[in-house]
A and B are shown apart, each in its own frame.
Chain A
Amino acid sequence: MNSYLKLSAVAVTAAIAALTLRRRVPELAILAVIAGCCICGGLLLEIVSPILTFAKQLYEKTGLSSELLSPLMKSAGIGIVTQISASICLDAGESALAKLAELGGMLLCLYVSLPLLTAVLQLIGRLAGTS
């Protein structure tokens, strides 16, 4: 709860700082937003860390290989970074850069899922071969 209250306080403070600076020095306004995002991101990851640990423990109980969990975890991390960077680009008025950041995130998620997709293809091949 404390981390979340800190996160809210930092987010509101950064928004007010950005509003104050926007008309005077617009470049610093977006830097204030980036700084707020970095601090809030750190606090958010502190909050999410026990949830991730529990998810890993739950996954271990299924008895599946940990290589199968890795693309899921990596995709979650890529999603978070993509959301933050695309939103910052949109706040700065650069929608083209935001779209490219989102596209990069999508392609990277696909890339980290390739081992999983390869395993699925091999399984289908084995099943098709035996049936």
Chain B
Amino acid sequence: MEIDLIFKIAAVGIIITILNQVLVRSGREEQATMTTLAGLVVVLMLVAQRISELFSLVKNLFNF
């Protein structure tokens, strides 16, 4: 299902928020930043695939 992607991104965001809070409270701010960046990279990889599919669909439909 296509809508699963949105839920995955929201879930990753909430997990990052929780981990961020836990790491910042225990004084590990660099690790908190790295966790956020890792989450960003994971979501970016999920989204990049979809962007590529959209652009190939546009190319096929409009005779590029």
Chain A contact residues, CB within 8 Å of chain B:
6, 9-10, 13-14, 17, 20-21, 24-25, 27-29, 31-32, 34-39, 41-43, 45, 48-49, 52, 70, 73-74, 76-77, 80-81
Contacts and interface: CB of A to CB of B under 8 A. Distances in A.
B47 to A, nearest CB: 5
**Contact residues of A: prevailing secondary structure:** helix
B51 to A, nearest CB: 6
Contact of A25 (B2, B13, B58): B13
Contacts of B12: 28
B61 A49 contact: yes
Contacts of B7: 13, 17
A31 B47 contact: yes
A51 B39 CA distance: 40
B2 A39 contact: yes
B58 A80 contact: yes
Given A42-B2, A77-B61, A32 B53 contact: no
Contacts of B46: 35
Given A25-B39, A76-B62, A34 B47 contact: yes
A76 B59 CA distance: 11
Nearest to A17: B10
A38 B53 CA distance: 8
B9 A35 contact: yes
Nearest to B46: A35
B39 A42 contact: no
